[in-house]
Structure 1
Amino acid sequence: MRSMSGYYENKVAAITGAASGIALEMTEQFLKREARAVFMGDFNEENLSRESQRLGRNYPGKVFPVVMDVTKREQVARFIESAADHAGHLDFVCNVAGVGVTIPTERVTLEIWDKAINLNLKGVIYGTYSAIPIMREQGFGHIVNAGSIAGLLPIPYQAVYAATKAAVISMTESLQYELEVEGLQFSVFCPANVRTPIFGDMTPPADSIGVDEAVLYILQEMEKKSVVIVLPQSARDFYTLYRERKEEFDKLARQLAAERRENYRTKGTYY
Structure 2
Amino acid sequence: MSGYFENKVAVVTGAASGIGLGIAEHLLARGAMAVFMGDVNETNLERESRRLGLAYQGKVFPQLVDVTNLEHVTKLISAAKAFDGHLDFVFNNAGMGMTLPTEKITFDIWRFIIDLNLMGVVYGTYAAIPLMREQGFGHIINAGSITGRIPVPYQAVYAASKSAVISMTESLQYELEADGLQFSVFCPGNVRTPIFGELTPPPDSISVDDAVDYIFEEMENKSLVIIFPQIMRDVDALYRGNREEFDKTIRNLARERRENYRTKGTYF
Indicate the TM-score class for this superposition, using the shorter chain for normalisation: over 0.9
The aligned amino acid for 1:195 is: R
**Residue 164 of structure 1 is aligned with which of 161, 164, 171?**
161
Deviation, structure 1 residue 29: 0.3
How far is 1:160 from its partner? 0.2
**1:63 partnered with 2:60:** yes
SS of residue matched to 1:201: coil
Equivalent AA in structure 1 for residue 116 of structure 2: L
Q: Deviations over 1:181-211 (max 9, x none)?
A: 0000000000000000000010000110011
Alpha-carbon distance between aligned partners in 2 of 1:266 and 1:234, rounded to the nearest angstrom: 27
Partner AA of 1:245 in structure 2: N
> Which residue of 209, 213, 216 corresponds with 1:212?
209
Task: Write the distance in 1 (CA, Å) between the matches of 2:106 and 2:205.
Answer: 28
Counterpart check, 1:14 vs 2:11: yes
Secondary structure, counterpart of 2:127 in structure 1? helix
Offset at residue 213 of structure 1 (A)? 0.3
Instruction: Report Cα offsets for 1:51-86 as digits up to 9, x if no partner.
Output: 001101110000000011000011100010000000
| Secondary structure of 1:164 counterpart | helix
Amino acid at match of 1:98: G
Specify the alignment match of 1:79 in structure 2: 76
Equivalence map 1:247-266=2 (5 Å): 247-266=244-263
Indicate whether 1:154 and 2:125 are aligned: no
Distance 2:59 2:208 in 1: 22
The AA in structure 1 aligned to 2:236 is Y
Match of residue 99 from structure 2:
102
Any idea what SS the aligned residue of 2:100 has?
Answer: coil
Which of 119, 126, 129 in structure 2 is aligned with 1:129? 126
User: After the TM superposition, which segments of 4 or more aligned residues of structure 1 sit over 3 Å from their partners?
Assistant: none
In the other structure, the counterpart of 1:54 is 51
Displacement after TM superposition at 1:100 (Å)? 0.3
Q: Normalization by structure 1: what TM-score? A: 0.98
Q: Which residue of 1 aligns with 2:138?
A: 141
Per-residue Cα deviation, 1:213-268 (whole angstroms, up to 9, x for no partner): 00000000001110000000000000000000110000000000000001111111
Which position in structure 2 is the counterpart of 1:120?
117
SS in 1 for 2:226: strand
- Paired residue for 1:92? 89
Aligned letter for 1:32?
A
CA distance in 2 between counterparts of 1:268 and 1:21 reads 24
Equivalent residues, number: 268
Equivalent position SS for 1:189: strand
Q: Which amino acid aligns with 2:7?
A: N
The CA distance in 2 between the partners of 1:195 and 1:228, in whole Å, is 21
Amino acid of the structure 2 residue aligned with 1:190 = C
Distance 1:231 1:205 in 2: 15
What amino acid is aligned across from residue 81 of structure 1 in structure 2? S
Partner-residue secondary structure (3-state), 2:187: strand
Alpha-carbon deviation of 1:21?
0.3
Overall identity of the aligned pairs, in %: 67
